[in-house]
Amino acid sequence: MSENHQVRNLNALLEVAKALGGEMQLDNLLPIILQKTTEVMDADRSSLFIYDESTNELWSKVAEGLDEKEIRFPVGIGIAGDVAKTLKTANIIDAYDDDRFNPEFDKKTNYRTKSVLCMPMMNNEGNLVGVVQVLNKKDGESFGSQDENLLEALSVQAGVAIQRAQLLVAFVEKQRIQESLKLAADIQMGMLPKNFPAFPDRDDFDLFASIIPAKEVGGDFYDFFLIDEEHLCFVIGDVSGKGVPAALFMAVTKTHVAASTIPGVEPSDILFRANNDLSKDNDQGMFCTIFYGILNTKTGEVHYSNGGHNPPYIVREDGTNEQLDGTEGIALGVMGDMDFGVKTITLEKGDSMYLYTDGVNEAMDAGGNEYSYERLEEYLRSTAGKKSTEIVSGSLDDINSFVGSAEQSDDITVLMVKYTG
Amino acid sequence: MEIRDKKEGEVIILEPVGRIDTNTSGEFEDKIVEVLDRGETRFVIDLKEIDYISSAGLRVFLMAAKKLKSSGGSFVLCSMSDHIKEVFDISGFTPIFTITSDQATGAEAA
């Protein structure tokens, strides 16, 4: 190699390094690589094919001198495909003498490919990033060994720049997904009433609720409101699955249930209506288990319906407790026109109802043991004389100390309403 | 998750093993869709080796039942442990599925 050539090549490489160093966007990077490669290699055209590991294909967006569009082909097809497969450089004097060459592209673009130099691009870990191909050496000769050396140096730089850009795309995408999940979780939590005491001017009942969301957004919710002066509605629900779909379905369920609540109407009819609304166009098969109660604040009578939810507990003033009898009913959203039953239980002064989601009884310790109904009942027995705020917080503490360092996999939600007459 | 599948006469028998929860329900759903796409319409899902089903798992059964219903197929669950039966009972799902005690009666019902 003449000294002149060496200086030219070193300068060219330096220029490429500068051009690639500042560019992080893949879409901008590819034209720069092509332009520089064509220039430095003293070639007529260059192409760059990026390796898609998930489909084992090569794709290209830029073809210099032609309109931009994406082309894709499997590894193994054509000269570039073969180079990707064998990871061996192809240096061809006339493409038309090579079996791997596909002249279709020449015909379409009215071009005559002659000399071809085609090389795999590897990243730092030695994995294939893509294939670079230069066509028609300008002085009419084919590409020589010094061209091979130069293209190799170029493709090392290009490979690293492309990988860096790809990593950035993946990182930004991951950030975006995490942000949208966080947003979904915030919206979901924002829908739950959280100001306690919720009814500061009422001394005939006492209500508290709390939720500990799992790391990944889930679909637990609770709700409570006065239907009229004498009737308190309280609800707890758990949507199947996790993530944004569960958060959305939870929002829709909470809204439908509240909208179906009309003074004087039984819980069974309210759930029947809400279920029909939720079952329409529910192609994803989402559903929500729900417990719906109405407390008559004058008499202590509770009318309730259970749509496939874990049975709440009735907790007496002295801590003794038992699970409520179930009613006919299915999780909301499963199918329309399902019947729901209604039952009545009367709370004495000091009695409460403890509502929870399966995140409570199924909370797991590091050894894979469940918190279980037995532990929950034992805890509830220790709550004699306490207010609902204390019982709920104490319950979450008890679950926490049982779970220890194990990761929480499901939302944990508790709602308690105490009748104080 | 491991899901064994075998065919007895006209009936496809699936035997999932372990837990059907948020982590595995996607795989279980894919398996059911794959078998449905093969054109199978009579299913038995044997749950004798399932220790746990979460609500995400129940959703897969629901989706399968909906898909089969629209294509005129049938779907039977069998060999549930008491613990699994309780999950179906609590959620209110028991009445909407055909559930049998063992595989042989399941295959007849499918």
State whether residue B91 sits within 8 Å of chain A by CB: yes
> Contact A303/A291 with Cβ under 8 angstroms?
no
- Find chain A residues with C-beta within 8 A of B91's C-beta: 289, 308, 330-331
Indicate the residue of A285, A308, A410 with minimum beta-carbon distance to B91.
A308
d(CA B75, CA B61): 9
What tens digit of pLDDT does each residue of B60-75 get? 888 888 888 777 888 8
A330 to B95: CB separation less than 8 angstroms, yes or no: yes
CA distance A197 to A201: 9
| Residues in a beta bridge with A119 | A132
ipTM of the complex as predicted: 0.81
Q: Are B74 and B100 in contact (CB under 8 A)?
A: no
Longest CA span, chain B = 34
Helix, coil or strand: residue A133:
strand
Ordered per-residue pLDDT tens for chain A, 421 residues: 566 666 777 777 777 777 777 777 777 888 888 888 888 888 998 888 999 999 999 998 755 555 667 888 999 999 999 999 999 999 999 999 999 998 887 888 888 999 999 999 988 888 899 999 999 998 878 898 888 988 998 888 888 888 888 888 888 888 888 888 888 788 888 889 999 999 999 999 999 999 998 877 778 999 999 999 999 999 999 998 777 888 889 999 999 999 999 999 999 999 999 999 999 988 778 899 999 999 999 999 999 999 999 999 999 999 999 999 999 999 999 989 999 999 999 999 999 999 999 999 999 999 989 999 999 999 999 999 999 999 999 999 999 999 999 988 789 999 999 999 8
3-class DSSP state of A113: coil
* More confident position, A342 or B38: A342
pTM above 0.95, yes or no: no
Question: Is-contact A260 A273, C-beta < 8 A?
Answer: yes
Cis peptide, bond prior to residue A197, ω within 30 of zero: yes
Residue B72: CA atoms inside 13 Å, Cβ hemisphere, count? 1
How does A230-263 read in b/e, with b if 16+ C-beta sit within 10 Å?
A: ebbbbbbbbbbbbebbbbbbbbbbbebbeebbee
The pLDDT assigned to A158 comes to 86
In the three-class reduction of DSSP (H, G, I as helix; E, B as strand; rest coil), residue B10 is classed as coil
Q: What is the pLDDT at residue A379?
A: 97
* Cross-chain residue pair B92–A287, CB shorter than 8 Å: no
CA distance B64 to chain A (A): 9
Whole-number pLDDT of residue A214: 85
| Smallest Cα distance from A229 to chain B, Å | 32
What φ, ψ does residue A131 adopt, rounded to 5°? Answer: -135, 135
Q: Which of B25, B56, B92 sits opposite A331 (nearest CB)?
A: B92
Q: Which residue of A has its CA nearest to B58?
A: A240
Provide the pLDDT for residue A67: 64
